Structure 1
Amino acid sequence: MTISRRMKIAALLAPLALAISACDSAGSEGEDAIAGEPVAAVPAPEGQEWAEVTTVTEQQGHQIGNPDAAIKLVEYASLTCPTCASFSQAGFETLRDEYVNSGRVSFELRPLVLNGYDLVLSRLARCSTDEAVVPLSEQVWTNFAEVMGNAQQNGAAMEQAMSLPEDQRFVGVAEATGLFEFFAARGLSRDQARSCLADVDSVKGLADRSSQQGEEFGVTGTPTFFVNGQKVEGVVNWEGVEPILQRAGAR
């Protein structure tokens, strides 16, 4: 699924059929990113691992790892994207443990919001601390079948929630799909989650940033990866990303 050049809030709150669509980037795999000499490992601060270090970037992405890492991997992703879930399930642990924790590579997650359900999920993942954003997003992808299955099974209730006033709409979607319970089991209280989703300006701000960055950086689908600022065309899985990191010097 692709996004338009200017995504509107109304489009994000379209019927459920949109909310559960697929979302692959187009193109063939194997595109080279950059090449570089081998990069030396960098020790993490005492008592920490690099994956525990979170930085909020200028683009409001959440970066884990050495903020001065020689190799910077950025992923634009949707929490309702099955290909993003597959990337996470296949490669995130290796990316975190072998690459990010080496201090050679940082990983930044930026949301590309594709639909209304995605918007609610993305805001909930950002309702807690900055350090929780990447882990909570990974939890959504790890449990992708459950999260998306709840949306499919409760389609009528979601449709009703979409028609509520703005300050109730996003809360209604979370209620209808069991998201409050899902995130509560992972440390985000129900009251905190409700407060986040009732803050319409913050939800709209997330959608607006996603739209603006999609246009600015030419991101038309998910997942889309950048290595050291260079867009990697057509690579959507860990099997394609890992060799690029290695060629860039993570070896």
Structure 2
Amino acid sequence: MTIKKLAPSRRFVLAAALTLALPLTAPAQAEKTETKVPLVELLAPQALPDIVEGKADAPVVIVEYASMTCSHCAAFHNDVYPTLKKDFIDTGKVKFILREFPLDERAAAAFMLARALGDKRDAAVDFLFAQQKNWAFTETPFESLANAVKQLGIGQEKFEETLKDEKLQKAIYAVAEQGQKFGVNATPTFFVNGVKLDGRMDVAALPKIIDDAGKTGK
């Protein structure tokens, strides 16, 4: 499957997106791969600044590449992330970073709108994942997305203005392109202290994943 380019709309214009060849499916359970990216490379500055959850010196670093229209990603953020945050991020054991890896134009637009909220990006992402079925898979996804983000304080004027921001759009796709260089080819993909995990994490697997990463170090 190829990421669709952001197409012009009757109400707003979107810039052309980078084309990435990606599958839309992911393993049901996260599987460790042979890929390991040194943290100095993984955490190097991106085209957009990382929004970091947790203590800067946490012993375990989790980087997730996600798409806003990926059902596996929504399941992680709706069902697993609250436990990850409560038991591991808020307790200083994990530093968590989500990076944009849009699989289609709807996902790219959603990420652009979330970025428009600055340091509230992660809260917006969580909200849009919770509401995914109400905007991502409707017959009129952009109109549904516009209605959804009104609850985040983004009115129609700001909605259209944000989706005309070619610089922001290009930066989001640059983050995805860098992810591909790290071996990301599906969503969600996690890097735990640099070790790549493909697929969906579940709550039961979290303690062992994090404990193993803490033992092996950075």
When normalised by structure 1's length, the TM-score is 0.66
- The whole-number CA distance in structure 2 between the counterparts of 1:199 and 1:29 is 35
Amino acid in the other structure paired with 2:196: K
Counterpart of 2:6 in structure 1 is 13
Q: Equivalent residues in 2 for 1:63-142 (5 A)?
A: 63-130=52-119, 132-142=120-130
Structure 2 gaps of 5+ residues are 8-21, 35-42
Counterpart of 1:24 in structure 2 is 25
From 198, 201, 216, the counterpart of 2:181: 216
Structure 1 residue 22: Cα displacement? 7.8
Structure 1 residue 245: Cα displacement? 1.1
**Secondary structure, in 3 states, of the residue corresponding to 1:12?**
coil
Structure 1 residue 180: Cα displacement? 2.2
Q: Deviations over 1:188-226 (max 9, x none)?
A: 34333322112223212312331x213210100000000
> Number of residue pairs matched?
190
Structure 1 residue 57: Cα displacement? 6.9
Counterpart of 1:41 in structure 2 is none
When normalised by structure 2's length, the TM-score is 0.76
Distance 1:12-1:26 versus aligned 2 partners, 3 A rule: farther
Cα RMSD (Å) of the superposition? 2.8
Amino acid in the other structure paired with 1:190: Q
Q: Deviations over 1:122-163 (max 9, x none)?
A: 101111122x1111111111112112233xx22xxx7xxxxx
Structure 1 gaps of 5+ residues are 15-20, 34-55, 159-173
Identity over the aligned pairs, expressed in percent?
27
Larger radius of gyration: 1
Q: Deviations over 1:39-63 (max 9, x none)?
A: xxxxxxxxxxxxxxxxx97223322
**Secondary structure, in 3 states, of the residue corresponding to 1:149?**
coil
- The whole-number CA distance in structure 2 between the counterparts of 1:214 and 1:32 is 15
From 214, 221, 236, the counterpart of 2:200: 236
Q: Deviations over 1:80-134 (max 9, x none)?
A: 000001111111111111111001111100011111111111101111122x111
Counterpart of 2:45 in structure 1 is 58
Distance 1:230-1:69 versus aligned 2 partners, 3 A rule: same
